Amino acid sequence: MRNKVKGILKRLRGEIPLETLKRNGLKVGKNFTMRSECIIDYSLPWLISIGDNVEFAPRVHVLAHDGSLNKTSVKHTKIGLVSIGNNVFVGAGTIILPNVKIGNNVIIGAGSIVNKDIPDNSVAVGNPIKVISNILEYEKKNMELLEKRPLFERSYRLENNVTDKQKKEMVEKLKDGIGFIN
């Protein structure tokens, strides 16, 4: 019963099951992860391709159409291909618009509006989106930060039954800045 209610809620929010999208032409590679409340354009899924090892954080929207002209004298919907390469992370709340290509080895920051192509090996953020660094620079910066900041083991995650003591410790250690978790 609970799963049935979840399914109804997902449909009301516009979430179509991945298998349905694939049957209707969505191309998806291996190891694709899509968190809750993601929406992939259900009206034109065959215009969207997603590579291998791609992760969508919660509330990512991928659109292959733009209906903004329907109420104008143009009275047509713009459509375009969307291509997402391999080894891509798309942050929470990101909207990917029609006619864009996201390259391989890319990180898209949370809340971004992807309205243009993003080259391989890039970190891009913002509204409108812009490339802020390459992957190697981003990794180097964060490896240096990792040496200075708190690192928490997997036991500090909900799925590993984090304790109240661990939660308090984490909050205390993060009061002066960012940290990391395995």
pLDDT in tens, the chain (182 residues): 666 665 555 555 557 899 999 999 999 999 999 999 999 999 999 999 999 999 999 999 999 999 888 888 888 899 999 999 999 999 999 999 999 999 999 999 999 999 999 999 999 999 999 999 999 999 999 999 999 999 999 999 989 999 999 999 999 999 999 999 99
101: phi then psi, degrees, rounded to nearest 5: -125, 125
Identify how many contiguous H helices and E strands the chain contains and give both numbers.
4, 18
Catalytic residue among 21, 28, 61, 103: 61
Its pTM stands at: 0.85
User: What pLDDT is recorded for position 2?
Assistant: 65
Is-catalytic flag, 61? Answer: yes
The confidence score (pLDDT) of residue 71 equals 85
CA distances from 122 to 98, 114, 132 (A): 20, 13, 8
pLDDT at residue number 76: 85
The single-letter DSSP state of residue 118 is B
Amino acid 151: pLDDT: 95
Helix (H) or strand (E) holding 23: helix 18-23
138 CA to centre of own chain: 18
pLDDT at 6: 58
